[in-house]
């Protein structure tokens, strides 16, 4: 059987940076060719970055993507890379004029191209368009209805047929994957931009195995790496054999060139040369074929030896990796050199500071301690302790003089006075950001954001919120894990133990504890998960065993806090339902779950 070395270029593209992303394709194709790969697969929408959202509706942007693709094909040839087949995603448009309402003529396509011999050898568009969760692809794209198959000649002189599908095409039945076997392909390559969620890597592997078996091919799944606003792409690229054997697997959250030597059935010389019709469960697909020019291909040389399989991260390491990458990329891709955050001595800001320091280095992290008359001594000393352990830049700005100036001008009491303190802190962070150029990080966690136990423009102030999608109980788990990581390798624990173990408090009033207003987080977080993430109604929650009074009270708190979440900064998604594009509820709503029990 012919042997082919496949390379999956698991790389970090930046939305809108056509030139930079294009240069990256050249750089990694060069590496793949040097390593003897005959085909290299890049992520979905590699050229434009992903997701581009409404940029897809801008004609100038689509034009630029198409132009860059053609230029790239020529540039690859100019670098002597015309003999390696390069598969990558880009933004295209339909050339036939079939507009739908709201989608103009020449509708955009989430497309993939095969570059070889200095030109675009063949291209196709994603068939299945996700329109749920964080995805709105029916807003932008029309589906493709082809399975492209390119015939490549290996170094040994054998021909192999390679099919291409894109991301969602794997997740739904029918479409291009369903006709891959009939097309006689022995390899199915799939560019992806699949965002991270907890435990998705397990789902992903099972999916790839299932589709490899269905298609009867080796399946090569190349995923993007990197942060883009609230999404984090976790890499985890996979090559799997039709019998389910994992032939290669890339790391999580790091760029890598994942190589695999695969033995493929030779192309069937009796297959029809031109296009073919094939019926999938949901559509009639066209199998389009092209034979690549017999240019000299990179020579794999010696076999790889052991399969390139990076180890999987455990659950907490995975989550932490996503938070760090999301934070690092938001800062970097938006041109910031540093960040600033309020450090209270509590666990949320401690974890946020640690994530920031791990993402950027402590020298680029600035913290502000802003004690009031209600701050306990330990909150200040715990904050100072963290500063010393991590070496971040710190300053202290007591807020009482500012608070007194406010209360000298307006009457505020109770909750209004508490919120004012939180807002003074927010405004100090924002002022220092304006003065010194840092990005402000908000430190709120998911349990607060769910229940509205936060102050709009106070602790919610900032450009990015690293633990926005992290419930309180997970904040504690991550903090403990991070400390254990450090001590296990002989480094100092970055987070003071007291910040982890003390009862949480916003310290906006004397002796205040979170438990004054909220149930214990170990009771609250599962309930929030069932209501927010699982969309369980009151009756279902009571049937599941929660106290009816608690259910009613917590649901009401969550629903009433929608207006606060609507104005919250973006932060990295780790759950199935971040408070971002994943969850779209009206602010104005009189819906109340029916009383139960």
Q: Which of residues 425-464 bind a second copy (CB under 8 A)?
A: 426-428, 430-432, 434-435, 456-457, 461, 463
Q: Which of 397, 486, 550, 557 binds a second copy (CB under 8 A)?
A: 397
Q: Find the binding residues for a second copy in span 166-205 (CB under 8 A).
A: 168, 171-172
Task: Give the shortest CB-515-to-a second copy separation in angstroms.
Answer: 22
C-alpha span between 568 and 2 (Å, rounded) = 55
- List all residues 6 or more positions away from 352 whose beta carbon is below 8 Å from its beta carbon: 341, 441, 443, 466, 467
Task: Give the shortest CB-432-to-a second copy separation in angstroms.
Answer: 6
Considering beta carbons, is residue 102 or 274 the nearer one to a second copy?
A: 102
**Number of C-alpha atoms within 13 angstroms, CB side, residue 218?**
23
Q: Which of 157, 305, 401, 490 binds a second copy (CB under 8 A)?
A: 401
Catalytic residue (choose from 24, 126, 446, 472): 126
**Locate tokens 């198959």: which residue?**
149
Three-state secondary structure call for residue 147: strand
Among 185, 208, 168, 32, which residue's Cα sits nearest to residue 122?
A: 185
Considering only the stretches 215-223, 264-272, 299-307, 395-403, report the one whose residues sit in contact with a second copy under the rule CB under 8 A: 395-403
Considering beta carbons, is residue 128 or 249 the nearer one to a second copy?
A: 128
Q: Both tokens of residue 111?
A: 């497309």
Considering beta carbons, is residue 321 or 572 the nearer one to a second copy?
A: 572
Q: Does 540 bind a second copy (CB under 8 A)?
A: yes
Q: Estimate the crossing angle of helix 347-360 against helix 377-390, to 10 degrees.
A: 10
Considering beta carbons, is residue 20 or 337 the nearer one to a second copy?
A: 20
Q: Does 16 bind a second copy (CB under 8 A)?
A: yes
Q: Please, are residues 440 and 463 in contact by the beta-carbon 8 Å criterion? A: yes
Edge-first strand order for the sheet with 108-116 is: 119-125, 108-116, 85-93, 39-41, 3-10, 256-263
- The site string for a second copy over 302-341 (x = CB under 8 A, - otherwise) reads ---------------------------xx--xx-------
Considering only the stretches 214-222, 314-322, 380-388, 589-597, report the one whose residues sit in contact with a second copy under the rule CB under 8 A: 589-597
Q: Which of 1, 20, 202, 263 binds a second copy (CB under 8 A)?
A: 20
Considering beta carbons, is residue 108 or 250 the nearer one to a second copy?
A: 108
Q: Does 539 bind a second copy (CB under 8 A)?
A: yes
44 a catalytic residue = yes
Considering only the stretches 22-30, 37-45, 130-138, 357-365, report the one whose residues sit in contact with a second copy under the rule CB under 8 A: 130-138
Task: Give the shortest CB-145-to-a second copy separation in angstroms.
Answer: 16
C-alpha span between 70 and 118 (Å, rounded) = 9
Considering beta carbons, is residue 119 or 400 the nearer one to a second copy?
A: 400
Catalytic residue (choose from 24, 44, 472, 564): 44
- DSSP run (H or E) holding 511: none
Q: Find the binding residues for a second copy in span 48-77 (CB under 8 A).
A: 49, 51-55, 57-61, 63-64
C-alpha span between 581 and 597 (Å, rounded) = 34
- List all residues 6 or more positions away from 306 whose beta carbon is below 8 Å from its beta carbon: none
Q: Which of 1, 203, 416, 543 binds a second copy (CB under 8 A)?
A: 416
C-alpha span between 462 and 465 (Å, rounded) = 7
Task: Give the shortest CB-35-to-a second copy separation in angstroms.
Answer: 29
The conformation of residue 503, written as its DSSP 8-state character, comes to P
Q: Does 585 bind a second copy (CB under 8 A)?
A: yes
Task: Give the shortest CB-430-to-a second copy separation in angstroms.
Answer: 6
Query: What phi, psi does 295 have (nearest 5°)?
Result: -85, 155
Considering beta carbons, is residue 102 or 305 the nearer one to a second copy?
A: 102
Q: Both tokens of residue 353?
A: 């500071």
Q: Find the binding residues for a second copy in span 245-284 (CB under 8 A).
A: none
Task: Give the shortest CB-450-to-a second copy separation in angstroms.
Answer: 15
Q: Does 535 bind a second copy (CB under 8 A)?
A: yes
- 97-113: string of b/e by CB count within 10 Å (b at 16+)? eeeeeebeebbbbbbbb
Catalytic residue (choose from 24, 75, 137, 167): 167
Alpha carbon distance, N-terminus to C-terminus of the chain: 67
Q: Both tokens of residue 410?
A: 């307006």
How far is CA 429 from each of CA 39, 116, 211, 504, rounded to the nearest angstrom?
49, 52, 50, 22
C-alpha span between 515 and 137 (Å, rounded) = 42
Q: Please, are residues 253 and 261 in contact by the beta-carbon 8 Å criterion? A: no
Give the Cα-Cα-Cα angle 474, 479, 484 (nearest 5 degrees): 125
Considering beta carbons, is residue 27 or 520 the nearer one to a second copy?
A: 27
Q: Find the binding residues for a second copy in span 217-236 (CB under 8 A).
A: 227-229
Q: Find the binding residues for a second copy in span 555-584 (CB under 8 A).
A: 563, 566-570, 583-584
Q: Please, are residues 558 and 537 in contact by the beta-carbon 8 Å criterion? A: no
How far is CA 317 from each of CA 127, 139, 225, 312, rounded to the nearest angstrom?
34, 35, 16, 9
Q: Which residues pair with 114 in a beta bridge?
A: 87, 122
Task: Give the shortest CB-75-to-a second copy separation in angstroms.
Answer: 18
208 a catalytic residue = no
Considering beta carbons, is residue 95 or 588 the nearer one to a second copy?
A: 588
Q: Which of 22, 186, 419, 451 binds a second copy (CB under 8 A)?
A: 419
Q: Does 412 bind a second copy (CB under 8 A)?
A: yes
168 a catalytic residue = no
Task: Give the shortest CB-203-to-a second copy separation in angstroms.
Answer: 13
Considering beta carbons, is residue 306 or 410 the nearer one to a second copy?
A: 410
Residues with active-site annotation: 44, 126, 167
């Amino acid at each position: 059987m012919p042997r082919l070395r496949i390379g999956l270029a698991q790389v970090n593209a930046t939305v809108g940076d056509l030139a930079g992303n294009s240069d990256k394709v050249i750089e990694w194709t060069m590496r793949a060719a040097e390593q003897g790969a005959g085909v290299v697969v890049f992520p979905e929408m590699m050229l434009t970055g992903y997701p581009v959202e409404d940029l897809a509706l801008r004609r100038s942007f689509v034009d630029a993507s198409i132009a860059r693709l053609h230029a790239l094909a020529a540039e690859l040839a100019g670098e002597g890379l015309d003999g390696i087949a390069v598969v990558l995603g880009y933004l295209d448009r339909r050339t036939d004029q079939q507009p739908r309402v709201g989608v103009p003529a020449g509708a955009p396509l989430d497309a993939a191209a095969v570059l070889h011999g200095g030109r675009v050898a063949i291209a196709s568009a994603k068939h299945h368009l996700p329109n749920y969760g964080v995805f709105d692809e029916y807003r932008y794209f029309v589906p493709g209805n082809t399975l492209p198959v390119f015939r490549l000649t290996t170094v040994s002189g054998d021909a192999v047929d390679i099919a291409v599908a894109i991301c969602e095409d794997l997740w739904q039945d029918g479409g291009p994957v369903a006709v891959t076997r009939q097309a006689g392909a022995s390899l199915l390559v799939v560019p992806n931009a699949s965002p991270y969620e907890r435990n998705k890597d397990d789902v992903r592997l099972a999916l790839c195995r299932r589709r490899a078996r269905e298609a009867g091919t080796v399946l090569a799944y190349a995923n993007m790496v990197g942060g883009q606003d609230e999404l984090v792409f976790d890499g985890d690229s996979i090559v799997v054999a039709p019998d389910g054997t994992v032939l290669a697997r890339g790391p999580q959250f790091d760029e890598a060139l994942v190589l695999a030597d695969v033995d493929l059935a030779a192309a069937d010389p009796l297959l029809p040369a031109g296009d073919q019709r094939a019926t999938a469960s949901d559509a009639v697909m066209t199998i389009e074929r092209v034979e690549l020019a017999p240019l000299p291909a990179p020579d794999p040389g010696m076999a790889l030896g052991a399969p390139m399989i990076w180890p999987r991260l455990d659950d907490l390491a995975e989550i932490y990796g996503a938070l760090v990458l999301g934070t690092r990329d938001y800062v970097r891709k938006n041109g910031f050199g540093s960040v600033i955050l309020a450090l209270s001595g509590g666990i949320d800001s401690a974890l946020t500071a640690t994530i920031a320091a791990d993402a950027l280095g402590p020298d680029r992290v600035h913290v502000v301690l802003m004690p009031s008359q209600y701050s306990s001594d330990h909150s200040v000393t715990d904050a100072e302790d963290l500063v010393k352990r991590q070496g971040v830049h710190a300053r202290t700005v007591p807020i009482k003089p500012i608070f007194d100036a406010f209360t000298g001008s307006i009457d505020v009491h109770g909750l209004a006075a508490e919120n004012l303190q939180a807002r003074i802190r927010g405004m100090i962070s924002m002022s220092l950001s304006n003065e010194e150029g840092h990005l402000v990080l908000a430190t709120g966690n998911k349990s607060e954001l769910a229940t509205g136990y936060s102050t709009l423009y106070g602790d919610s102030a900032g450009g990015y919120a690293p633990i926005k999608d992290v419930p309180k109980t997970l904040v504690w788990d991550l903090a403990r894990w991070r400390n254990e990581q450090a001590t296990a390798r002989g480094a100092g624990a970055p987070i003071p133990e007291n910040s982890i173990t003390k009862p949480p408090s916003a310290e906006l009033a004397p002796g205040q504890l979170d438990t004054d207003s909220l149930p214990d987080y170990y009771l609250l977080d599962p309930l929030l998960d069932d209501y927010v993430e699982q969309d369980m109604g009151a009756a279902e929650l009571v049937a599941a065993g929660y106290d009816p009074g608690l259910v009613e009270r917590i649901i009401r708190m969550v629903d009433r806090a929608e207006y606060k979440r609507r104005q919250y900064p973006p932060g990295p998604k780790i759950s199935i339902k971040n408070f971002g594009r994943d969850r779209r509820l009206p602010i104005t709503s009189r819906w109340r779950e029916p009383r139960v029990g």
